[in-house]
Amino acid sequence: MRLSLLRFTGLAAAALFMTCGTAAANEDPASTRDQIEAQIIPAVTFTGNTLPTLAERRTHYGVPTTSLAVIRDGKVAWTGVWGEGVSAQTVYQAASLCKAVSTAAILSAAMAHGVAFDEDIAPYLSRIDLDAIRPAGTVTTLAALLSHTAGASVSGYPGYASGSELPGTVEIVTGSDRTNTQGVTIEANPEGNFAYSGGGYQIAQLMIEDVTGEPFSLLAEKYVFKPLRMNSSTYEQPLSADFLVAHDVASGNRVAGVPVDGGWHVYPEQAAAGLWTTPADYARFSAALMGAAAGASDTGLSPTVAKAMLTQAAPDYGIGVGLVFDEETGERRLQQGGSTQGYKTFFAAWPDRNDAIVVMSNSDSSALFNQEIVRSAAAVYGWPAASSRTVTEIDPEPALLEMIAGTYETADERFAFSVAPEGNRLRGRNSRAPFTLAHLGEGLFIDVDDGAELTFRQTETGWIADDGTNSYTQAKAVRP
Q: Would you kindly state where each structural domain of the chain is located, as residue ranges?
A: 92-370, 398-476
Residue-wise pLDDT for 138-194, tens only, equals 999 999 999 999 999 999 999 999 999 999 999 999 999 999 999 999 999 999 999
- Do 92-370 and 398-476 agree at the fold level? no
pLDDT of 20 above 70: no
Is the link from the previous residue into 421 a cis peptide, with omega within 30 of 0? no
Q: Which residue stretches of 322-450 are H helix?
A: 367-381, 398-404
* DSSP run (H or E) holding 59: helix 54-61
268: phi then psi, degrees, rounded to nearest 5? -65, -10
| E strand or H helix that includes residue 332 | strand 332-340
Buried b (16+ CB within 10 A) or exposed e, 413-423: eebbbbbbbee
Average pLDDT over residues 369-395: 94
Lowest mean pLDDT among 22-31, 59-68, 81-90: 22-31
- 355: β partners: 350
CATH number for domain 92-370, candidates 3.40.50.2300, 3.40.710.10, 3.40.50.11030, 3.40.309.10: 3.40.710.10
- pTM for the full model? 0.92
Q: How far is CA 3 from CA 259, 267, 435, 447, in A?
A: 24, 27, 9, 10
The confidence band for 478, taking pLDDT boundaries of 50, 70 and 90, is low
pLDDT digits (tens, 9 = 90+) for 91-131: 999 999 999 999 999 999 999 999 999 999 999 999 999 99
| pLDDT for the residue 208 | 99
Flag whether pLDDT at 12 surpasses 90. no
Question: Is 80 exceeded by the pLDDT of residue 446?
Answer: yes
What's the pLDDT band for 23 if we cut at 50, 70, 90? very low
Counting DSSP H helices and E strands in the chain, the numbers are 15, 20
Q: pLDDT value at position 479?
A: 45
Helix (H) or strand (E) holding 440: strand 434-441
Helix axes 29-38, 367-381, angle to 10 degrees: 130
Residue 342 region, left (φ>0) first, then alpha (ψ -120 to 50), else beta? Answer: left
- The angle formed by the CA atoms of residues 95, 96 and 99, to the nearest 5 degrees, is 125
If you classify domain 398-476 with CATH, what class do you get?
mainly beta
pLDDT at 475: 87
